Structure 1
Amino acid sequence: MTSSSSSSASTRSLPTETPLPKRQLALVAMVGITEPIHMTLVFPFIYYMVRDFNVSDDPRYVGFYVGVLAAAFAVAQLATGLLWGIASDHFGRRPILLIGVAGSIVCPILFGLSKTFTWAVMIRILWGMLNGNASSVKTMVGELTDESNQAKGFSLLPFCWHTGSVIGPVLGGLLADPVEHYPSLFGQSVLFRTYPYLLPCLVCSALSLLAWVLNYLYLVETVEHHAPNSAAADDDEEQAIHDAHYDHHHHRVEESSHYRAHGSSSASTHTSYDLPDETTALLISTNAAIQASTAASANPISVGGPIPVPIDSNDANESGPASPRAGLSIALSGDPLRCTIGYAAVSFFTLFIEEMFPIWAATPFDNGGMGMSTRAIGIALSVSGLFVVYLQLYLYPKVQNAWGALRCFRHGTTLCAVVVPCFGILHYLEASPSSLTVVYTMLSEGDLRPITWVVLIALLTLKEWCSVMYFTSACILINNAVPDRRYLGTVNSVSYSAASLARAVGPALGGTVFSWSLTTGYPFPFNHNFIFVMTASISLATYFMSLTWNSRLDRRAISKTSSPQ
């Protein structure tokens, strides 16, 4: 093989793009949008809500309690996320999705009725326990797409996240405390005077109700072995995989004979590594399938690399139902495990900074914050989110097709390590003498200088673009790493549980670290800048970890299309 042909073989080539099942993806996207709404809804007013609970007389310690309340949601998701994923493999994605949305209808209302810190934490835990939608949505997108259109399909996930991240802060920032902000409309309302944070929660519940009704009426199941005649389809697939293994084995035998006949000079031309990525990935799963369907005395054929998952014959029958034991074995070994760790890492530092930014922005200026109002925080987050929605839909699919998911993941984490520390500059920028006047707008006491607003929006937009790069890519990499599509739900739920653990630790640790940084009096980087420096360090460490991942993750282990309309 010449160097030119070798170079050509190494370039990324995708099959003709399969049309996306747009209606089904739109329904799934509606559910996907609700989760970030539920998570970010409280961001603009959570500091003031906890302060109103009178948990501490010192505003420097409020951040600790805010972190506890913010972490409660993710802790609850950690406790139930794996169970929802296993249940979706057995009972289907659709019923689990509908149960999660139903919980998202009731819990926001109960949260808006909170009058004590304990009640708020308990409801936030219940809210997270009933919300198992994220892993189900990610799994369904993987089942509704194939390798040719997965970049566009999976770009819906951060699109949903950022759309919800726009809607959530808008609802929370503009509708919180309506008696104070809109006295002409709500000035006489006893209900909203007693419960100042109920209105955004009611609107949030209404959106979830709309998503539940539409998905109940129109969403179809995507798990193939739940469909009629699925046993026959699985038998056909098993036979096809067996035939592929047979052909590939004989191809390798011929290669070996050719190599022995022509000597070592042919080594660069005829090795097992010259096989197409699709065949190699297919044979990985084929080996597992043969191991599952043969007796223990039969020795599986090596395919040039370790089998990523040892699947017991009793656990993995290609024509049988999904087994929790086999699914967990896949999720906790090899490439799926490495991608899950990476996904948990980016989840940790992303939610860490997303939770800490509103707290830092609302902290009084003299204490190292920006002294911004809930409305100013909500608008800043929303404006940056609008920019990212556009970039997500039009830019990311093109970048991913050109670079691959793995390279996008690495670029996203490195850029984040550069952008996030720049937030600390805003405090000094606002404090520095300037001839620029303050912008007197609807932002009330949260007004900033024009130059500060420009830099703030630019940094928030860049930060969100980083999360688009590494979050979308992480979802694709996890999906590509699964050798048996029946266990996609279990693998995604394991990755989501790991992310939930990271998201639980992130805010709780962030609140403690931020309170500590404001009270010690230490200089840079241990002052208010410490949360930004810490985030950048973890992001950079994640990049170095990704350098150990195999480039084969840019292709699916098994290409299998399912396109309900």
Structure 2
Amino acid sequence: MSTTSAEKFDQIESHHRHGRSTGVTRSVMEDQEHSAETAMQPVRPPQASWTSMPHKDQLAILALSRMVDFFQMASLSTFMVHQLQSFDPSLPNSCISRQAGMLQGSFTAAQIVTAVLWGRVADEPNIGRKKVLLVGLIGTAFSCIGLGFSRSFTQATLWRLLGGAINGTVGAARTMVAETVEKRFHSRAFLLLPVAFNVANILGPIFGGMLVDPVTSFPTLLGPSSVFGGPEGVAWMIKYPYAATNMLSAALLFAEAALVYFFLRETLASYAKRGPSPFGWLDTSRGLLARLVPRRKSDYKALDPSQSVGLLAGIEGDAINMTELSPEGYLEKPFAKPKLSFSRLWTSNVVLTLLSIAIFDFHMGAFSSLWIIFLSTERAEKHHAARSPSDPFYFDGGLSFQPTAISYALAVIGLVGLALQLSLYPWANSRFGLMRCFRYSLVLFPVAYFLAPFISLLPSWTDAPQPASGPWIWIGISMVLTLQVTARTFALPASILLLNNSSPHPTVLATIHGLGSSTSSMFRTVGPIAAGFWYGVGLEMGAVGMAWWIVAGISCIGCIASFWMRNGSGREILLPGDEEYQEIQETQARTRD
């Protein structure tokens, strides 16, 4: 009885031990299976945010490069019409409006020819994006100095042409932003460029208007018998009243060039890293000439140094020893990755994106010119005599603003844009998506352009020909600018992203941005010139709004054209050497087997 009980006790204890062992084993196996399943699941990258964005210092330098470039343009807008009037005070307003359109368009006119060229040069492995950015900043600085000391419309136009021709900063900066961070950060990284634009639109007009004719603006410092002026004032500032504001723009461009040179890193993957050379600028010049003067194709190709065989020279000591060839030697020499040809990058999405950008930049350039001219145009004391005063579309005159008032009106653009850029845009973009924000924003442009000329009919505290003033005038200005800037806040970063994503292959990314910059320059040239011409004709007819309403109609076409665009992947064409291309080749090979 006792033996049987002992045996049963041993069996029960053994069963419990076995059960516990089995349970432990099963638990370990389940943990291992769970770990394996967890390891097999793809790791999601952290959500893109401003705090998690890498390379903030590099993005800050790139944003500053766009800010100082926009600064010189915004600063010029405050005094351009008055500088043209100082060249020849006898010219009528209609002629000054045409000259203003030509002067503003001359900068972008030169970029039509050179933007694609600078994009191709920036794709060269021995040059890269950084050198193109440096050349653009320094060259534009010298053109600002020349503009400030110009004494005629011809001189001013030539300096603006030179500045535009050498300025390849737009494509270079956009490409470097795209290559500095991963694609999931692009929507936030590219937002820095419009933010820079808005900051420049605040600071440029304020400082530009402040430094126009500084002897008069700061008499105690620069005027007669002042601290720095001497008995008659600062002589060169009296002779060149628009030089000081241009020299400030040049100083900012030179300072940014120094930041780029010392702290900005090259982003071109195939850039040939070499030590610093005092003759590095020769590489840029050589690459530029290589694009201007095409080489004749030949079957001849120079031998690689490793292919020079000693046996050919009859020197036995220099002969190749076949036993010394190893995987680390000549056979393992890497092949250069192929680059997409220029003729193959013209996909349908690239063409449609460039078309939409063309319309967008046409009316943006036209608005920039019309707004400055309209603010500066003398107020009309009565309606045009040839038409009935009751006709709502036939009225004449502008607001007669002086540079200081113009600077405030232009600064409103930057203030509204910056507030919307940092508050409304991120929420709307995440809620509605890139394409819908782009398309919906375009609808606001024609509304703003249609309403703009009616500001001159609002009640003013002063009578013509004195500058318009009073709350109704500034309410009207704020309403029109809020509509225009809201539309631009969403459309501008979206157009940059859509252009970047339309690139069919990463090897032509800078070229695509060069094409976009060239297209933008072309229509930002045509826009101000055409708008200035229409504005002059409208003044002669007594219909100051004619140019505005034509531009509104063109912007409506842009609304329609946007529905044919799509957000690309940035890699629509695959080349040998691409990972996706190799995967497709391997899949096809397995299918054939």
TMscore range, shorter length: 0.7 to 0.9
The Cα shift of 1:459 comes to: 2.0
- More displaced, 386-395 or 369-378? 386-395
Q: Structure 1 residues 109, 93: closer, same or farther in 2, change over 3 A?
A: same
Partners of 2:215 and 2:176 lie apart in 1 by: 42
Summarize deviations over 1:40-96 as a string: whole Å, max 9, x none. Answer: 221111111111111753223211111111111011111211111000011211111
Residue 214, structure 1, aligned to residue 259, structure 2: yes
Summarize deviations over 1:249-289 as a string: whole Å, max 9, x none. Answer: xxxxxxxxxxxxxxxxxxxxxxxxxxxxxxxxxxxxxxxxx
Amino acid at match of 1:99: V
1:418 maps to what in 2?
447
Asked if 2 retains the 8 angstrom alpha-carbon contact of 1:103 and 1:131, the reply is: yes
Residue 484, structure 1, aligned to residue 505, structure 2: yes
In the TM superposition, 1:79-478 aligns within 5 A as 79-90=113-124, 91-187=127-223, 188-226=233-271, 320=336, 323=339, 326-327=341-342, 329-330=344-345, 332-366=346-380, 367-430=396-459, 437=461, 446-478=467-499
SS of corresponding position for 1:148: helix
Q: Structure 1 residues 174, 341: closer, same or farther in 2, change over 3 A?
A: same
Q: Structure 1 residues 333, 454: closer, same or farther in 2, change over 3 A?
A: same
Partners of 1:353 and 1:52 lie apart in 2 by: 24
The Cα shift of 1:227 comes to: 6.3
The Cα shift of 1:167 comes to: 2.1
Q: What is the TM-score of this pair, normalised by structure 1? A: 0.74
The Cα shift of 1:140 comes to: 1.1
Partners of 1:536 and 1:62 lie apart in 2 by: 23
1:514 maps to what in 2?
535
1:533 maps to what in 2?
549
Structure 1 residue ranges without an equivalent (≥5): 1-12, 230-317, 432-436, 522-526, 561-565
SS of corresponding position for 1:226: coil
The Cα shift of 1:146 comes to: 2.8
Asked if 1 retains the 8 angstrom alpha-carbon contact of 2:213 and 2:237, the reply is: yes
Q: Structure 1 residues 44, 529: closer, same or farther in 2, change over 3 A?
A: same
Partners of 1:423 and 1:477 lie apart in 2 by: 29
Asked if 2 retains the 8 angstrom alpha-carbon contact of 1:175 and 1:200, the reply is: yes
Structure 2 residue ranges without an equivalent (≥5): 1-43, 224-232, 275-333, 381-395, 579-593
Summarize deviations over 1:146-199 as a string: whole Å, max 9, x none. Answer: 332211111111111122222221222221112233222222111111001001
- Tell which has more relative contact order, 1 or 2 (C-alpha 8 A, sep 6+): 1
Q: Structure 1 residues 322, 428: closer, same or farther in 2, change over 3 A?
A: farther
Q: Structure 1 residues 509, 14: closer, same or farther in 2, change over 3 A?
A: farther
Partners of 2:437 and 2:46 lie apart in 1 by: 20
Amino acid at match of 1:543: C
Partners of 1:543 and 1:76 lie apart in 2 by: 28
SS of corresponding position for 2:258: helix
- More displaced, 533-542 or 190-199? 533-542
Asked if 1 retains the 8 angstrom alpha-carbon contact of 2:69 and 2:253, the reply is: no
Amino acid at match of 1:117: F
Q: Structure 1 residues 397, 146: closer, same or farther in 2, change over 3 A?
A: farther
| Percent identity of equivalent pairs | 27
1:251 maps to what in 2?
none
Q: Structure 1 residues 542, 490: closer, same or farther in 2, change over 3 A?
A: same
The Cα shift of 1:462 comes to: 2.7
Residue 22, structure 1, aligned to residue 56, structure 2: yes
Amino acid at match of 2:503: V
Partners of 1:28 and 1:328 lie apart in 2 by: 30
How many positions carry a matched residue from both structures? 442
Summarize deviations over 1:123-165 as a string: whole Å, max 9, x none. Answer: 1101111111011111111112333221111111111112222
Partners of 1:186 and 1:497 lie apart in 2 by: 42
Amino acid at match of 2:407: G
Asked if 2 retains the 8 angstrom alpha-carbon contact of 1:482 and 1:557, the reply is: yes
The structure whose Rg is larger is 2
Partners of 2:430 and 2:200 lie apart in 1 by: 25
Summarize deviations over 1:417-441 as a string: whole Å, max 9, x none. Answer: 112211122111136xxxxx569xx
Asked if 2 retains the 8 angstrom alpha-carbon contact of 1:176 and 1:196, the reply is: yes
- More displaced, 157-166 or 25-34? 157-166
Q: Structure 1 residues 321, 134: closer, same or farther in 2, change over 3 A?
A: farther
Asked if 2 retains the 8 angstrom alpha-carbon contact of 1:405 and 1:474, the reply is: no
Amino acid at match of 2:210: L
Asked if 2 retains the 8 angstrom alpha-carbon contact of 1:41 and 1:168, the reply is: yes
Asked if 1 retains the 8 angstrom alpha-carbon contact of 2:429 and 2:437, the reply is: yes
SS of corresponding position for 2:458: helix
Amino acid at match of 1:53: F
Amino acid at match of 1:177: D
SS of corresponding position for 1:224: coil
Q: Structure 1 residues 149, 472: closer, same or farther in 2, change over 3 A?
A: same
The Cα shift of 1:319 comes to: 6.1
Amino acid at match of 1:218: F
Q: Structure 1 residues 463, 400: closer, same or farther in 2, change over 3 A?
A: same
| CA root-mean-square deviation | 2.5
